[in-house]
């Protein structure tokens, strides 16, 4: 994965928040996860498996308060943990799927696998070079984590 | 499937594995001629609902468990060639859109979408219906 690949996902993240929740997100400078030495996980995580020319995973992780805010902004009123898991998966799906505009048909993505808190053993396998794209939306902090190998 | 005079009592089947996405489509819908909206969360469930309810319009996600949207679209068109299917998907590459159209879908709307984009796309679908 090179800088251009990463930029595709950064731009996709920006575009998602601009078009979906009526308020832009501030997307920070991506950094290598291994440099920080710890996984980045928030309350809910939507994990997308990637196969084809690029292999690995992409995940979107966000605090429950942010997901609740997103759902409220879409007019939802009955919000529970199941619904927050659903929306975190849908955000991951949209950002990953939109990347096929540049990566093409061979960027095969799975259906979202969602979890709250820590993942079950073996569920989240990150490669040696995993990048964190920090996302600040309103007062909340989320992240898109990209772990892809060519 | 009976023809619908002036398309004033249409049924829309919304197929998506995300409840958020299904609700998003239902909330955005502003077409008087759509009188009933039904939902399904995967391709297998969608085919069962499709045969039972006989909707004239379908919005179809592509990436779904069990049976994906391409497979479900193919089967729905085989069962009822006059059905109008709008693919609503995050998959942004041209090859996917072309494949969906080849399998019988009538339009493609990329997620995320605005309310106006959804209603415009469905309006185009309705114009192509028998007696539309």
> B20, B94, B24, B85: which is closest to B58 by C-alpha?
B85
The interface pTM score, or ipTM, of the predicted complex is: 0.90
Cβ contacts of residue A84 below 8 Å, gap of 6+? A43, A44, A64, A67, A68, A71, A116
The stretch A113-130 carries a mean pLDDT of 90
Determine contact: A19 vs chain B, CB below 8 A: yes
- Give the span between the Cα atoms of B56 and A131, in whole angstroms: 45
Determine contact: B41 vs chain A, CB below 8 A: no
Cβ neighbours of A105 (radius 10 Å): 15
For residue B92, the chain A residues in CB contact (below 8 A) are: 97-101
User: From the list A71, A94, A101, which residue is nearest B112 (CB)?
Assistant: A94
Choose between A21 and B4: higher pLDDT: A21
Number of domains in chain A: 1
The length of chain B is 132
In this prediction, the residues of chain B whose per-residue pLDDT falls under 50 are: 1-5
For residue B95, the chain A residues in CB contact (below 8 A) are: 104-105
Phi, psi of A100 (to 5 degrees): -70, -15
pLDDT band of A49, cuts 50, 70, 90? very high
Residue A100 clears pLDDT 90, i.e. is over it = yes
Phi, psi of B88 (to 5 degrees): -120, 105
Range of the domain at B35: 5-127
Selected for mutation to probe chain B from A8, A21, A81, A86 (highest B CB count within 10 Å) is A86
- Give the span between the Cα atoms of A1 and A101, in whole angstroms: 16
> A126, A133, A124, A132: which is closest to A149 by C-alpha?
A126
For residue B27, the chain A residues in CB contact (below 8 A) are: 74-75
Beta bridge partners of A145: A59, A132
- If contacts are CB pairs under 8 Å, which of residues 10-29 in chain B contact chain A? 17-21, 23-24, 27
DSSP secondary structure, B33-64, as one string: TEEEEEEESSHHHHHHHHHHH--SEEEE-SS-
Residue A37 clears pLDDT 60, i.e. is over it = no
- CATH number, residue B64: 3.40.50.2300
**Could you tell me which chain A residue has the CA closest to the CA of B23?**
A76
Structural domain contains residue B132: no
Number of domains in chain B: 1
For the record, the structure tokens of A141 come out as 């902090």
The verdict on a CB contact (< 8 Å) between B20 and A19 is: no
Choose between A78 and B7: higher pLDDT: A78
Range of the domain at A17: 3-149
> B4, B6, B7, B25: which is closest to B118 by C-alpha?
B25
The verdict on a CB contact (< 8 Å) between A111 and B17 is: yes
The verdict on a CB contact (< 8 Å) between B91 and A97 is: yes
- CATH number, residue A93: 3.40.1550.10
- Residue A56 near residue A47 (C-beta atoms within 8 A): no
The stretch A64-90 carries a mean pLDDT of 95
- pLDDT per position as a tens digit, B4-21: 445 678 999 999 999 999
Determine contact: B98 vs chain A, CB below 8 A: no
């Amino acid at each position: 994965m090179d800088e251009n690949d990463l930029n595709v996902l950064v731009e996709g993240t920006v575009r998602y928040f601009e078009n979906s929740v009526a308020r832009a997100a501030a997307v920070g400078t991506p950094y290598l996860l291994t440099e920080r030495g710890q996984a980045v996980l928030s309350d809910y995580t939507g994990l997308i498996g990637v196969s084809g020319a690029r292999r690995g995973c992409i995940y979107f992780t966000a605090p429950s308060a942010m997901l609740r805010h997103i759902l409220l902004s879409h007019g939802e009123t009955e919000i529970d943990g199941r619904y927050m898991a659903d929306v975190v998966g849908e955000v991951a799906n949209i950002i990953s799927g939109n990347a096929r505009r540049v990566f093409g048909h061979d960027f095969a993505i799975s259906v979202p696998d969602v979890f709250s808190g820590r993942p079950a053993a073996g569920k989240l396998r990150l490669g040696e070079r995993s990048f964190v794209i920090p996302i600040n939306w309103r007062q909340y902090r989320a992240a898109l984590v990209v772990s892809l190998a060519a | 499937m009976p023809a619908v005079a002036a398309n004033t009592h249409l049924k829309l089947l919304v197929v998506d594995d995300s409840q958020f996405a299904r609700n998003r489509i239902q909330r955005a819908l502003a077409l008087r001629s759509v009188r009933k909206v039904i939902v399904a969360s995967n391709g297998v469930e969608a085919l069962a609902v499709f045969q039972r309810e006989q909707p004239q319009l379908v919005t179809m996600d592509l990436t779904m468990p069990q049976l994906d949207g391409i497979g479900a679209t193919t089967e729905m068109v085989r069962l009822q060639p006059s059905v109008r299917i709008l693919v609503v998907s995050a998959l942004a590459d041209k090859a996917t859109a072309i494949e969906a159209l080849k399998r019988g879908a009538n339009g493609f709307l990329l997620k995320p979408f605005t309310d106006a984009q959804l209603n415009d796309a469905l309006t185009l679908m309705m114009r192509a219906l028998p007696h539309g």
